[in-house]
Structure 1
Amino acid sequence: MKFKLFLAMILTVGLLAACGGSDDNGTEEEGTDVVTAASFAADAEGLHAAASENGTWIIIPESDLTLSEDLVVTGTFHNSGDESEDVYRKIAAYTQDDDRNIVDQWVITVPQLVVQSENLNFQGGTLDGDVYVEADGFLLHATATVTGDVIFASEEFEASASLEGTVEGETSVE
């Protein structure tokens, strides 16, 4: 009985410690809120918010989504929301199991994905539309497909990109 009481106290203290801390979702960095959690997007509005400069480092659609306007991914974020990590942003258009195997992949239908965040990784799923890259380090992961064109705003952006996935349209530099 004493052991159960002790275990309950330990779990309670752990829960309080995990839930404690500041009321904000991140830290303040030069006037920009940096959020450390993933952002799950259930609809077009949620996807636009997650991709904004006030969004999160990882953007996770919860199903196939169709947007009537361009999706602009902007802002500077760090891997896992940790400022000591590299600059990195990810659109994870899939679900995964406990072993990180892709289970479901989503289709994001959009006139154009505009990449303004450095080191954006589009992984899993399909982007049904064009991609316009205005930042260094764009990665189309091997598990992803773009049905339209991938257009780079400069040769430098193209040189820093990695298109490991499938591009069904043309790849060009403006």
Structure 2
Amino acid sequence: MKWFRGLLVGGLVIAVLSGCGTKEETAVPATEPTDAATSASIVNDAAAFTNAVGEKGTWIIAILNDVAVDQEVVVAGEFRDKGAADGEIYRKIALYAQDADHNITASYTLTVPKLTVKSENLRVQGGTIQGDVVVEAAGFHLHETATIDGSLSFANDNAKATAKIDGNVTGTQE
């Protein structure tokens, strides 16, 4: 009977410990490469931001503080909403922090001489891009919570016709 009680207690301990461990299993360790199709990239410096917006980057890029990049940045690559293979083409630069209810709690500034958008359906939300933005891809969206403190230009008629500018642009729009 003692062996049965020991087996039962041991089984309960294993069940509790394995239940506690499941949340950690979903985190991606920093030493392993992340899956660009499904991961978000949370960045706090220029190099990490530049890598995250590249062709092998992530579908959503969120900055944790003001970030300054001293060179032109190109947002490139095709990504799908939340990394779903059948999801719509979508990409997002989040220049803000939010609470559990998705309310913006802090806004940040991305300072860059020039940001060129080559990713289709890029949405910029909640903060300021300080610098010029050139849109070469269809579906650019400047959310109402975002500002471009610089000029905004479109490389072609399709890019301009499919853009949605709800935010503020302090410079010229061409």
* TM-score, structure 1 as length reference: 0.85
3-state SS, counterpart of residue 104 of structure 1: strand
2:15 to 9, 33, 39: 9
Q: Superposition pairs for residues 147-166 of structure 1, below 5 Å?
A: 147-166=149-168
Q: Superposition pairs for residues 8-47 of structure 1, below 5 Å?
A: 9=15, 12=18, 15=21, 19=25, 25-26=34-35, 34-47=36-49
- Give the equivalent residue in structure 2 for 1:51: 53
In the alignment of these two chains, the number of paired residues is 163
Structure 1 outlier segments of 4+, above 2 Å:
1-8, 13-20, 23-26
Separation of aligned partners in 1, 2:81 and 2:9: 40
- Give the equivalent residue in structure 2 for 1:29: none
Structure 1 pair 7–115 and aligned structure 2 pair: CA distance change class (3 A): farther
Separation of aligned partners in 2, 1:70 and 1:133: 13
Q: Is the 8 A contact 2:70 2:113 kept in 1?
A: yes
5+ residue gaps, structure 1, are: 27-33
2:124 to 106, 122, 130: 122
Deviation at 1:25, TM superposition (A): 3.6
3-state SS, counterpart of residue 12 of structure 1: helix
RMSD (CA atoms):
2.4
Deviation at 1:71, TM superposition (A): 1.5
Separation of aligned partners in 1, 2:94 and 2:85: 20
| Letter in structure 1 aligned against 2:15 | M
* TM-score, structure 2 as length reference: 0.85
3-state SS, counterpart of residue 131 of structure 2: strand
3-state SS, counterpart of residue 39 of structure 1: strand
Separation of aligned partners in 1, 2:131 and 2:120: 20
Which region of structure 1 is more displaced relative to structure 2, 35-44 or 10-19?
Answer: 10-19
Deviation at 1:15, TM superposition (A): 3.4
The percentage of aligned residue pairs carrying the same residue is 39
Deviation at 1:18, TM superposition (A): 7.2
